[in-house]
Amino acid sequence: MLRFLLQRLALIALMLLVLSGLVFFLVQLLPGDLATNILGSQATPEQYAAMRAKLGLDQPVWVRYFTWLGDFLRGEWGHSVSADQPVRDLVLTRFGNTLRLAGVALAILIPSAIVAGVLAGLNEGKWIDKIISVGGATLTVIPEFVSGIILMIVFAVWLRWFPISATAPSDADFWTTVRHLILPSLPVVFVSFGYIAKMARSGTIEVLEAPYIRTATFKGLTRRQIVLRHVLRNALPPTISLSLLQASFIMGGLVVVEQLFTYPGLGKLLLDASTSHDVPTLEAAVLLAGIIVMVMTLLADLTLALLDPRVRVGG
């Protein structure tokens, strides 16, 4: 198990390295560069060349990459030109904000989708199953910006149940902060809800047909005992593991949502940094986002292993 964990961590490090290189070189393909961004379109070619030299942009791209990489690994993440702030402070603050939003989204998504899916599976073919299955599929196809705008108009503007701003005042307590984050997290929840519910549903149906459910029935257990001790115990681990894999979808969805709700998170930072050619900021943000996705994937594998005795205990 330890060996498996170490291998996976080494693999994650390697993937992050490849990711950082990929981002660095891809940014070069974007039209314009940082010097034009700072100077604007009115600067003379001489001013422009001087600015490029000052920023180090006149050096070959691979030299710049390794310089950046060396600094980054030493902990010197550089200075964000577009935000005029140390990259590290900027990115970590934004990262914290995004974690809060993602946390609220997952806290709503995973329990509700699993409960709905299990309910649908236990009542296969009945009306409750049809509502959940069709409803889940419908929610999945609504893009985040569409559902986001509708939610905003209905719940924040008309009904005023939730604040329109995603950012709580800095002195707000925990529940107030959460209240501000509910509306922006819902579009992301909608997109993944159907998928997770479907997984939970098919997992439940599969387990219901397993011979050991018959054995449990023959023991004289009540329906409640059969469902709680035998069905859920076997249907949930794979579902929970799969829902953690949804983390990467959620990261993608957050970029849109944060933009829509002007929430200062990692997603919005990614977008801003790439449009302003702020490579050090972009790199740091991408690597953090990559770490989240990879760690969640690892967690998904680990949960499955820890919840299944056939993997945990061995033969």
Q: Which chain residues interact with other proteins by CB under 8 A?
A: 210-212, 214-223, 225, 229-230, 233-234, 237, 307-310, 313, 315
Nearer to other proteins, 225 or 262 (CB): 225
Measured distance CA(257)–CA(263) in Å, rounded: 8
| Shortest separation between residue 301's beta carbon and other proteins, angstroms | 17
Nearer to other proteins, 108 or 213 (CB): 213
How wide is the angle at C-alpha 225 spanned by C-alphas 309 and 107, nearest 5°? Answer: 65
| Shortest separation between residue 241's beta carbon and other proteins, angstroms | 14
| Mutual angle of helices 61-73 and 279-307, in 10-degree steps | 60
| Mutual angle of helices 61-73 and 2-28, in 10-degree steps | 140
Measured distance CA(82)–CA(312) in Å, rounded: 49
Nearer to other proteins, 57 or 210 (CB): 210
Nearer to other proteins, 43 or 306 (CB): 306
CB 17 within 8 A of CB 61: no
| Shortest separation between residue 313's beta carbon and other proteins, angstroms | 6
| Shortest separation between residue 200's beta carbon and other proteins, angstroms | 16
Q: Is the dihedral of CA 12, 248, 244, 259 positive or negative?
A: positive
Q: DSSP readout, 114-178?
A: HHHHHHHHHTTTSHHHHHHHHHHHHHHTS-HHHHHHHHIIIIIIIS--S-S-SSPPTT--HHHHH
AA letter at 110: I
| Shortest separation between residue 124's beta carbon and other proteins, angstroms | 10
Nearer to other proteins, 62 or 212 (CB): 212
| Shortest separation between residue 152's beta carbon and other proteins, angstroms | 43
Measured distance CA(111)–CA(192) in Å, rounded: 12
Nearer to other proteins, 172 or 228 (CB): 228
| Shortest separation between residue 153's beta carbon and other proteins, angstroms | 46
Measured distance CA(225)–CA(217) in Å, rounded: 9
User: What is the DSSP-derived secondary structure letter of residue 230?
Assistant: I
Nearer to other proteins, 302 or 307 (CB): 307
Nearer to other proteins, 54 or 233 (CB): 233
| Shortest separation between residue 311's beta carbon and other proteins, angstroms | 10
Kindly report the number of other CB atoms within 10 A of residue 275's CB atom. Answer: 13
- In which residue are the tokens 């594998």 written? 301
